[in-house]
Homo-oligomer: A and B are copies of this chain.
């Protein structure tokens, strides 16, 4: 039986939806069939502006997208405060859910989403694109090479961009009723996800936010930092901020190797991405130098990472539909561990930077 491409409905016309609309169109096994907005006119304009086929249906409500029988799956880029409501509603109508990050305002909210998905057997995945880049798989191979990397000991990640005053005044990510996690949800999500990825998703024993916090007047996080601690002595630190130049750094140091990447969440360019890997470095005689220098490893990408994400999601949905497979538990599990640590950092911040045990 030839698989038909998975038919997406997009809930809302956020900026990020433009990127995903393109990604869905680029994916060989996915297509956009419907766009919903609170305003029909806005949905129609989104379809026209983004070069979607004229047959794409515009809906004047999110509800109408969920009721559209031609929609197999939804992409949900709504403000985080609306995720639980609309992701649960989608799952209850049997729509598979690709949910923008951060997945929810708390792990309790996310759990209700994941329960709804589990109970109707739909696939859940969050919108963390870099996990789907072939560079990520290559980095994981090297980190997993016991002879060249050894156990990870130290992880550090920094994600930031310098927000404009317009962003700081108007963007939903600075509004307590829309995305109250602010920079922690938007950028810290990547730091936390990258740290967990680097250590094979082993949760730390405890998390301590660092007393380096910048809130806006409404109490939304504009920058914060945290450390994670494992019982075996591994340590990770991260910093996320709307207040400094674009960075997307991850460094992982093991007993025998080190890895560094500086454009983790969004590679500089679409067709390939690089990282640095070093193993077995040692000092020269008299310590007047050391070698080897890190290798620069470059990995080509046939499709943009967000299209690879959509393809993987659509592949899982196709398998559920054609082979009656269960949804792949890997993606909800990754989301949940990440959200759990977002919650822990937030709790530590609210608790005057005291450690939070996991």
What residues of chain A have their CB less than 8 Å away from a CB belonging to chain B?
15-16, 18-19, 22, 150, 153-154, 156, 158, 160-162, 208, 210-214, 223, 225, 227, 229, 233-235, 237, 239, 241, 243-247, 249, 251, 253-258, 260, 262-263, 266-270, 276, 278-283, 286-291, 293-294, 304, 306, 355
Contact = CB atoms under 8 A, between A and B. Distances in A.
Contacts of A162: 255-256
Nearest to A21: B286
Contacts of A156: 156, 158, 237, 239
A18 B97 CA distance: 65
A37 B345 CA distance: 54
Which of A287, A294, A306 has its CB near the most chain B CB atoms (within 10 A)? A287
A235 B19 CA distance: 33
Nearest to A224: B235
B227 A210 contact: yes
A196 to B, nearest CB: 17
A303 to B, nearest CB: 12
A111 B262 CA distance: 41
B251 A158 contact: yes
Contacts of A260: 249, 262
A229 B209 CA distance: 13
Nearest to A213: B233
A340 to B, nearest CB: 20
A245 B210 contact: no
Contacts of A270: 288-289
Contacts of A249: 251, 260
Nearest to A269: B289
A255 B244 contact: yes
A262 B258 CA distance: 11
A239 B154 contact: yes
A162 B306 CA distance: 38
A353 B257 CA distance: 29
Contacts of A153: 160, 223, 241, 243-244
Contact of A290 (B150, B223, B263, B294): B263
Contact of A223 (B158, B225, B233): B233
